[in-house]
């Protein structure tokens, strides 16, 4: 019973990580790629860690697995947010199929201060063709 | 007030573990529930009473977020194989009701981990956040969804 559970958990974890890497190849621009990888890899890593904790069945391994899961959840979303912000400020091209872009021109070109009201600055990523 | 009650509850759980002499997760959680019951019996003040509805609500919120994350991952699994013609990405401005730094950071972390969304940035005056959405069908509906589903229960818990 426990063996089957371990098998299921690690298989699903590997599948999520595989799907995130396929998404990384298939998505057309950097923001979509971040969005796909950030999510699928969090659950993938945590499922593999849970299956490792079940396999060893040891108090010290379990506490470490829980700590790693907690920090992965905290850091991956923050990492995705920072990557997206840096990509936008350096004017990485955005996919041409993007419907609305409220962030266009909202960053100050020099100080990188972000305005909440309408602002007009030079930071506007151009629309690109498929796959950059 | 809630904080000190939570600490008392933890101390009661540790005392229970020490008294029974077995340090396992189940015993600690059992001790926590016993402490919860004892505190429930001995508190009378109204502001202290808030703690007892708070803990189950936090627990429920945690389960809800966990389910949303799992749903997000299955959606991401599906979306990895979508053709490009089905994608409708967009960057949306979402006005915030959350005021303090901790509220905004928890909210943005939750939004990042839920289906098809990614936080781009929080404006410097903390009034709006910019969210990148993978399937933007209706802008107003999306903003309303985020506010009703995540922000409202979170603010109810934090305040």
- One domain for residues B37 and B89: no
List the 85-124 stretch of A: residues with Cβ below 8 A of B. 85, 88, 95, 97-104, 106, 113-116
Whether B66 is covered by a domain: the verdict is no
Domain holding B133: CATH number?
3.30.70
Interface contact flag, A100 B90, Cβ < 8 Å:
yes
Of B72, B127, B134, Cβ closest to residue A32:
B134
- One domain for residues B36 and B91: no
- One domain for residues B25 and B88: no
Interface contact flag, B127 A116, Cβ < 8 Å:
yes
Interface contact flag, A100 B84, Cβ < 8 Å:
no
Extract the tokens encoding B138.
Answer: 């209706």
Nearest CA in chain B to A47: B70
Nearest CA in chain A to B107: A77
Write the pLDDT tens digit of every residue in A76-122: 888 888 888 888 888 888 888 777 777 777 777 777 777 777 777 77
Q: What is the mean pLDDT of chain A?
A: 83
Domains of chain A, with CATH numbers? 2-93 (1.10.287), 98-124 (no CATH)
Distance CA B20, CA B40 (A): 22
Interface contact flag, B73 A74, Cβ < 8 Å:
no
Write the pLDDT tens digit of every residue in A36-82: 888 777 888 889 999 999 998 888 888 899 899 888 888 888 888 88
Mean pLDDT of A15-19: 87
Distance CA B30, CA B35 (A): 9
Distance (Å) from the alpha carbon of B96 to chain A's nearest alpha carbon: 11
Write down the pLDDT at residue B83: 73
- One domain for residues B39 and B89: no
Compare A7 and B153 and report the one with higher pLDDT: A7
- Strands A127-128 and A94-95 turn out to be parallel
Whether B56 is covered by a domain: the verdict is no
pTM: 0.76
Write down the pLDDT at residue A132: 52
Write down the pLDDT at residue A11: 92
Write down the pLDDT at residue A10: 92
Q: What is the pLDDT along chain B (159 residues), one digit of tens a residue?
A: 667 788 888 888 888 888 888 778 788 888 888 888 888 888 877 666 777 777 788 888 888 888 888 887 777 777 777 777 677 788 888 888 878 888 888 888 888 877 678 888 888 888 888 888 887 778 888 888 888 888 888 887 777
List the 48-67 stretch of A: residues with Cβ below 8 A of B. none
Interface contact flag, B136 A78, Cβ < 8 Å:
no
Write down the pLDDT at residue B78: 77
Whether B60 is covered by a domain: the verdict is no
Distance (Å) from the alpha carbon of A44 to chain B's nearest alpha carbon: 9
Nearest to A62 by CA among B18, B66, B30, B24: B24
- One domain for residues B101 and B154: yes
Asked if the C-beta of A43 comes within 8 angstroms of chain B's C-beta atoms, the answer is yes
Domain hosting residue B144, numbered range: 83-158
Write down the pLDDT at residue A77: 82
Question: How many domains would you assign to chain B?
Answer: 2
Whether B51 is covered by a domain: the verdict is no
Whether B153 is covered by a domain: the verdict is yes
Cβ neighbours of B40 (radius 10 Å): 12
- One domain for residues B87 and B143: yes
Whether B68 is covered by a domain: the verdict is no
Asked if the C-beta of A30 comes within 8 angstroms of chain B's C-beta atoms, the answer is no
Asked if the C-beta of A78 comes within 8 angstroms of chain B's C-beta atoms, the answer is yes
- One domain for residues B90 and B152: yes
Q: Which of A13, A103, A123 to mutate to test the interface with B (most CBs of B within 10 A)?
A: A103
Residue A130 confidence (pLDDT) above 70? no
- One domain for residues B89 and B26: no
Interface contact flag, A103 B136, Cβ < 8 Å:
no
Write down the pLDDT at residue B1: 60
Of B70, B79, B123, Cβ closest to residue A23:
B79
Whether B90 is covered by a domain: the verdict is yes
Whether B25 is covered by a domain: the verdict is yes
């Amino acid at each position: 019973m426990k063996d089957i559970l371990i098998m299921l958990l690690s298989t699903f974890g590997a599948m999520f990580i595989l799907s995130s890497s396929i998404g990384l190849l298939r998505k057309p621009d950097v923001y979509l790629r971040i969005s796909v990888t950030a999510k699928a890899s969090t659950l993938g890593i945590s499922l593999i860690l849970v299956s490792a904790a079940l396999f060893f069945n040891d108090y010290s391994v379990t506490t470490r697995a829980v700590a790693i899961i907690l920090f992965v959840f905290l850091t991956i979303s923050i990492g995705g947010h920072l990557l997206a912000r840096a990509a936008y400020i350096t004017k990485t091209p955005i996919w041409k199929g993007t419907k609305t872009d409220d962030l266009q021109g909202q960053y100050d070109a020099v100080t990188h201060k972000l305005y909440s009201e309408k602002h007009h600055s030079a930071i506007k990523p151009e629309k690109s063709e498929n796959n950059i | 007030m809630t904080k000190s009650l939570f600490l008392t509850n933890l101390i009661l759980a540790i005392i229970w573990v020490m008294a029974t002499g077995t340090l396992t997760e189940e015993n600690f959680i059992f001790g926590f529930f016993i402490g919860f019951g004892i505190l429930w019996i001995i508190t009378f003040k109204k502001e202290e009473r808030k703690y007892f509805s708070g803990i189950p609500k936090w627990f429920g919120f945690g389960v809800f977020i966990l389910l949303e994350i799992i749903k997000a991952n299955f959606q991401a699994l599906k979306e990895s194989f979508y053709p490009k013609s089905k994608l409708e990405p967009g960057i949306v401005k979402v006005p915030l009701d959350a005021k303090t730094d901790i509220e905004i950071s928890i909210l943005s972390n939750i939004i990042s981990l839920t289906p098809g969304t990614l936080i781009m940035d929080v404006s410097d005056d903390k009034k709006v956040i910019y969210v990148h959405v993978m399937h933007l069908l209706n802008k107003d509906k999306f903003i309303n969804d985020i506010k009703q589903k995540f922000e409202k229960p979170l603010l109810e818990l934090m305040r």
